[in-house]
Amino acid sequence: MPLLRVDALAADSLHEVEAVLDGDAESLIVHRDAAGAVHAWLNVCPHAGRRLDWAPGEFLRSKDGLLVCAVHGASFELAGGECVAGPCRGERLREVAVHCVDGDVRLGAASDAAT
């Protein structure tokens, strides 16, 4: 089941989607980088376990393009989800494997889809 269409993701955009992971409904952050690669993480700050968006699907970005936690200001780079500033510096967002096929973003690694 697709999470969303790739063409709905503008370059360097962030989107919130709901997905079922291990039987639980989870909020995910989906990011499409400038090169077109798509990444996803749980919408949870590792510092205090709170959502990163300040309103559903609305994310704060720094002048440098970092994702900023709306609660305590932790800042995350979007290439790998590492916290580079704030209370959880050195920690990472929990990555969720996604792949793109037939214009859809889907859960799981691309190799999982082939089996």
Summarize the confidence of residues 9-34 as an average pLDDT: 94
For the chain, the DSSP string reads -EEEEGGGS-TTEEEEEEEEETTEEEEEEEEE-TTS-EEEEES--TTTS--S-SBTTB-EE-TTS-EE-TTT--EE-TTT-BEEESTTTT-B--B--EEEETTEEEES-HHHHT-
pLDDT band at 109 (very low <50, low <70, confident <90, very high): confident
pLDDT band at 66 (very low <50, low <70, confident <90, very high): very high
pLDDT of residue 113: 55
pLDDT in tens, 83-104: 999 999 999 999 999 999 999 9
Q: Which long-range contacts (CB under 8 A, 24 or more apart) does 7-11 make?
A: 7/103, 9/38, 9/105, 11/36
pLDDT of residue 112: 62
Would you say residue 115 has pLDDT above 50? Answer: no
The candidate with the shortest Cα–Cα distance to 95, out of 33, 3, 21, 35, is 21
- Give the rounded percent of residues in the chain with a pLDDT score beyond 90: 83
Domain 2-113 has CATH 3.40.50.300: no
Summarize the confidence of residues 56-74 as an average pLDDT: 94
